[in-house]
Structure 1
Amino acid sequence: MNKPKSQRLDLTSMTGEEIAYLILNGKYTRSALWAFISGNGGADACHAKHPQIAICLHILKQERKKAKHVRVVKTVLKPLSNQRADGMELTEILHPILEGHRQLYLSKLNLALTHEQIIMLLVAVNGAEELEAYGCPLAGEFPTATA
């Protein structure tokens, strides 16, 4: 049954963030958004008239990317959870990878690092870039070689 006009959402008076929030929290659907876009002459015409729709779609795209990355991390960690349940330490589980990095740093940079130091180095090198790529700010200043 259709909602009365008084209960329908007016996307023209809302911001892109508000529309995305409604969709992400189940108060509005993506199909209804695309029906609105189609009813306003398609994506290009709708974005020209209502730029907040483009902002909403951009936010939804970012949220889809975040959800995909979460699934990837869960997929990687799932086989490790059985080994963790058996009482193995994380460094024992990751030993082949850490040993490969240790040999790489030893041969290329002449650095003899422990497995824990390798973990910290990898987090420091890749962590800042990944946080920025996901749109998360760093908690403080982090010096880099390019700064």
Structure 2
Amino acid sequence: MIAGNLNQLALASLPVELANILAEPEVSFSNLVKLADGKYQKQGESWFYTVGDFQTSPKSARHTEYHKEYLDIQVVLNGEEIIGYQLENVINSPLPEKKPDFYLLENPQLNNEIHLKAGDFAIFYPGEPHQALCMVNEPKTVRKAVFKVPKGLVK
């Protein structure tokens, strides 16, 4: 897991491929916050992102997911959330795929969490379990951009 802020990319020490994606002018924080809900993909690129509003809820009500083929870059555009995560690779867990590249863990032990506010991001590599949209103090709406980056793009 890597964390940072879109307005301070250099501090995140990102792999060059991810730094290049997040440095694209169209995915700057100031541009992302202006976008309507939907899916966006730059012509000729295999990575894409979706923008939308989501409701946070108690940790006990949230699922824990992981992916095998894509890195997840979760960017908060407005509001705040807590994302629970575990520093363990679960990519070989024998769990069924719920939808394309989406796997759910049952009863995970997530020992870590990160509090994200507007502009902050967290990057989860394939196999890294994460539990997004956990509320901070009470359920609220959070606006996010979620990037999906094929694992083969990052060396």
* TM > 0.5: no
Q: RCO higher in 1 or 2 (8 Å CA, sep ≥ 6)? A: 2
TM-score normalised by structure 1 residue count: 0.21
TM-score by length of 2: 0.20
Q: Which one has the bigger strand percentage?
A: 2
